[in-house]
């Protein structure tokens, strides 16, 4: 029996969706560079790649990217 709340899976963002959003919003080359090199206070002083490698939820990382890069609300 799962202890997860009903619908919890719907709140998650797949990693493929995360990268699709990164590439759509920043372009292929800049998205990869941003993820690798840009240290974000919103991620506790980590890069996107570090946060994801350490198991941070992709939706949390995406929201941090949106905040750090001042993306419009429609992208959240």
Q: What is the pLDDT of residues 6-56, one digit of tens each?
A: 444 445 789 999 999 999 999 999 999 999 999 999 999 999 999 999 999
- Cα dihedral across residues 47, 10, 70, 15: positive or negative: positive
Tally the residues of the chain: 76
18 and 58 in contact (C-beta within 8 Å)? Answer: yes
Predicted pLDDT at 9? 45
Q: Please name the residues in contact with 57: beta carbons below 8 A apart, sequence gap of 6 or more.
A: 12, 13
Q: How far apart are CA 4 and CA 53, in angstroms?
A: 23
Query: Is 58 within the bounds of a domain?
Result: yes
Sign for the CA dihedral angle at 7, 66, 35, 27 comes to positive
The pTM score is 0.82
Q: How many domains does the chain have?
A: 1
Domain assignment present for 5: no
Asked if residue 32 is part of any domain, the answer here is: yes
What pLDDT sits at residue 75?
Answer: 87
What does the pLDDT read at residue 31? Answer: 97
Question: Is 2 part of a structural domain of the chain?
Answer: no
- The domain in which residue 42 lies consists of 13-75
Asked if residue 36 is part of any domain, the answer here is yes
């Amino acid at each position: 029996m799962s202890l997860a709340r009903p619908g919890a899976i719907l709140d998650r963002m797949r990693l493929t969706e995360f990268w699709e959003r990164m590439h759509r919003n920043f372009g292929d080359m800049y998205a990869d560079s941003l993820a690798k090199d840009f240290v974000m206070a919103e991620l506790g002083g980590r890069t996107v790649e570090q946060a994801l490698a350490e198991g941070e939820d992709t939706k949390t990382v995406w929201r941090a990217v949106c905040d750090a890069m001042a993306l419009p609300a429609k992208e959240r």
